[in-house]
């Protein structure tokens, strides 16, 4: 490279090579990850000024960081969104800069390696050519809707023109990301190249830009006269999962695209409505809670490579499959190969739906090793006990595992109801036992409670958190207590719902009240999904404290109706799918009544020290139960209402 004599910038590096190409690298000062702050964008404007004075043959935009391309706009500046003038200035700044980049007279190319999200993808879309590097960390998307906002820097206009409006709206309305190969297949990227040739490919394509294939005729019609049809279908799909009063951002995206071609400056009333919505502030809060939980998984130098799971039931098998899919070598133990086989088959069926690359699927399945003799325990960095909930059986197993494990390995139990102090009592080193409480279904639930017993080794808890982070889950440190955090708060919630049924309300009415509050599933359908036998055991535990078991639960249990798994619970499940009747009118305040015990129990667990503080409790309940994210967490919600 031949260095330019341009002004030195704090965040950008500009070099020119012998062929006249300008290579512009973003290396945001003082940060491990690139994001687009006001300062970064101001410097980019200065770079474009320099290039306007001395135009290159072409411009290649890339990252100088190993951590990825650009993660999006600087989340630290989003507090300014509470001010409409500041929000408008932020949108205007990015909108005008991306338009300026799109209009330069020389060829432009974005070389994307690693995450390219939000404003980062909008900047890349403003380049005429987009090249993605084929490696696991490359992900592209416009996930602003997850923060309660919309892509405001041109992405709402440019993405539909590249991939078609139906697909573009699906990506923007769900916040989904795509990998490098899929980006090329969809037409989002012009080329997908391996890392070893990325610079050569970028140079070649910058000097000789590829011709973009026009969208098919029907897609062009959807961008033109049939645009209202696409918008109407998108609204119908969004309405199935998000109420406009709860989540206004997806509806704003549809309206901005349909009526203003994705230009938020053309509809200041929509921008103002999003800025004024409490949903936006609360979803930004949830994002920060998520980042705090992620931070627990990033500490230390523990880098587990091998996992041994004992118990090939639904939970143990799914934990093993998840770990294998995340690149770890997993040995799965049960009494016989015949007991392990269903877990392997279930893993293959689930993974084959997500992994279209057959070689990748085979590699994952090769890492999932049946191990009826338990030989893997001696080599594992993390050993997880996931057998049935019986104290004696678990104690005997943990004793056996401790004798065979590496002394520095993590010994964990997935128990959801037994006391860690009781389980660890039989161990030579009781302080090493930690809880790793996964939730069902493992592939969908992001939270894992990392449980520490009294007298537990903090180093083991930190290792357990690092393991959870390594498999892309959110670790929540909690103290050993009945139900830990998540199950402890769900119990009173489910019992309150059942009390409403005992009072004469239909299950449909009760569940509809919870859905109207913003819960992802009604409490009675949730009880059916968990299993009414499990709910009955929880109810009996509460009864010993003086509470009465709900009559409706007792009746169903005695009839053998245990929920979804038996085909009948509070609802029938023909073919495994729930069938509900009409909900009817929902009494005023029913949603708040249902959630009040959950909120009270959450506050009590913070006061008891089971979870360290209110923010962590809010994060745990949101990611462990699905508590309405747009409300910012149960304790935050209570504070906002002065409850």
Catalytic residue numbers, as ranges: 416, 437, 449, 487
Q: For residue 54, report the phi and psi dihedrals to the nearest 5 degrees.
A: -130, 80
Q: Which residue, 98, 23, 94, is CA-closest to 64?
A: 23
- Contacts for 412 with CB less than 8 Å, ≥ 6 apart: 382, 383, 384, 385, 433, 434, 435, 436, 464
Strand order in the sheet with 129-133: 2-3, 12-16, 21-26, 58-63, 108-112, 129-133, 191-193
Task: Show the tokens assigned to 133.
Answer: 């590097």
Distance CA 268, CA 284 (A): 21
CA distance 433 to 441: 24
In angstroms, rounded to a whole number, what is the distance separating the alpha carbons of residues 224 and 50? Answer: 37
Please name which of 536, 466, 520 lies closest in space to residue 630, comparing C-alpha atoms. Answer: 520
Q: Which of 48, 204, 24 is closest to 110 using CA atoms?
A: 24
Dist CA 69 CA 78 (whole Å): 20
Q: Tell me if 275 sits within 8 A of 183, measured CB to CB.
A: no
- The answer to whether residues 125 and 158 touch, using CB atoms and an 8 Å cutoff, is yes
| Numbers of helices and strands, H then E, in the chain | 26, 18
Q: How far apart are CA 102 and CA 109, in angstroms?
A: 10
* Distance of alpha carbon 293 from alpha carbon 473, whole angstroms: 9
* Cα distance between residue 481 and residue 416, in whole Å: 10
φ, ψ dihedrals at 519, nearest 5° = -75, 150
Q: Which CB contacts under 8 angstroms, 24+ apart, belong to 351-358?
A: 351/321, 351/325, 355/325, 357/181
Which residue carries 């401790």 as its tokens? 402
Write out the two tokens for 62: 């890339």
512-526 CB burial, b ≥16 within 10 A, e <16: bbbbbbbbebbbbbb
Structural tokens at position 309: 């799971």
Closest among 201, 204, 72, 73 to 132, alpha carbons compared: 201
Residue ranges of E strands in 41-193? 58-63, 108-112, 115-117, 129-133, 139-141, 177-179, 191-193
Residue 414 has φ and ψ, to the nearest 5°, of -95, 20
């Amino acid at each position: 490279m031949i260095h330019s004599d341009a002004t030195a910038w704090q965040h950008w590096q500009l070099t020119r090579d012998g062929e006249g190409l300008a290579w512009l690298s973003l290396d945001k000062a003082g940060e491990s990850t690139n994001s687009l702050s006001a300062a970064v964008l101001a410097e980019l404007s200065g770079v474009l000024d320099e290039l306007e004075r001395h135009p290159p043959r072409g411009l290649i935009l890339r990252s100088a960081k190993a951590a990825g391309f650009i993660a999006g706009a600087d989340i630290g500046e989003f507090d300014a969104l509470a001010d409409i003038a500041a929000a408008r200035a932020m949108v205007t700044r990015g909108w005008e800069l991306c338009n300026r980049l799109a209009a330069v007279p020389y060829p432009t190319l974005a070389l994307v390696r690693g995450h390219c999200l939000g404003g980062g993808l909008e900047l890349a879309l403003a380049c005429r050519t987009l090249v993605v590097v084929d490696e696991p960390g490359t992900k592209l998307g416009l996930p602003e809707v997850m923060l309660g906002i919309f892509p405001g820097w041109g992405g709402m206009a440019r993405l539909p023109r590249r991939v078609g409006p139906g697909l573009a709206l699906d990506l923007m309305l769900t916040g989904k990301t795509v990998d490098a190969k899929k980006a090329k297949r969809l037409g989002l990227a012009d080329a997908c190249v391996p890392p070893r040739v990325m610079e050569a490919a970028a140079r070649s394509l910058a000097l000789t830009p590829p011709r973009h294939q026009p969208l098919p005729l029907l897609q062009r019609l959807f961008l033109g006269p049939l645009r209202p049809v696409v918008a109407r279908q998108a609204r119908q799909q969004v309405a199935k999962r998000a109420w406009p009063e709860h989540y206004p951002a997806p509806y704003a995206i549809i309206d901005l695209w349909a009526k203003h071609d994705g230009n938020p400056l053309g509809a200041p009333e929509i921008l103002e409505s999003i800025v004024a919505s409490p949903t936006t502030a609360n979803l930004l809060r949830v994002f920060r809670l998520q980042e705090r939980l992620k931070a627990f998984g990033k500490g230390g130098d523990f880098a587990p490579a091998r996992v041994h799971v004992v118990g090939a039931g639904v939970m143990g098998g799914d934990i093993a499959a998840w770990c294998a899919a995340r690149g770890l070598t997993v040995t799965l133990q049960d009494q016989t190969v015949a007991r392990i086989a269903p877990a392997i088959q279930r893993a293959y069926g689930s993974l084959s739906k997500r992994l279209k690359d057959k070689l990748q699927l085979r590699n994952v399945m090769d890492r999932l090793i049946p191990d009826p003799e338990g030989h893997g325990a001696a080599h594992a960095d993390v050993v997880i006990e996931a057998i049935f909930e019986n104290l004696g059986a678990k104690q005997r197993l943990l004793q056996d595992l401790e004798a065979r494990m590496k002394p520095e390995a993590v010994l964990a139990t997935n128990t959801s109801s037994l006391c860690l102090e009781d389980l660890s009592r039989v161990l030579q080193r009781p302080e090493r036992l930690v809880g790793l409480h996964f939730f069902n279904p493992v592939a969908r639930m992001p939270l894992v409670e990392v449980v520490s017993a009294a007298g537990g080794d903090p180093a083991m808890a930190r290792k357990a958190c690092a393991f959870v982070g390594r498999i892309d889950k959110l670790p929540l440190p909690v103290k050993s207590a009945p139900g830990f955090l998540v199950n402890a708060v769900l119990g009173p919630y489910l019992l309150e719902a059942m009390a409403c049924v005992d009072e004469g309300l239909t299950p449909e009415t009760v569940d509809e009240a919870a859905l109207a509050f913003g819960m992802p599933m009604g409490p009675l359908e949730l009880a059916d999904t968990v299993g009414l036998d499990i709910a009955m055991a929880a109810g009996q535990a509460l009864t010993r404290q003086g509470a009465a078991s709900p009559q409706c639960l007792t009746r169903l249990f005695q009839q053998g109706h245990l929920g979804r798994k038996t085909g009948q619970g509070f609802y029938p499940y023909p073919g495994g799918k729930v069938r509900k009747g009409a909900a009817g009118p929902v009494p005023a305040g029913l949603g708040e009544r249902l959630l009040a015990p959950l909120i009270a129990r959450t506050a009590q667990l913070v006061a008891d020290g089971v979870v360290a503080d209110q923010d962590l409790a809010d994060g745990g309940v949101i990611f462990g139960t699905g508590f309405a994210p747009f409300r910012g967490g149960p304790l935050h919600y209570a504070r906002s209402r002065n409850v």
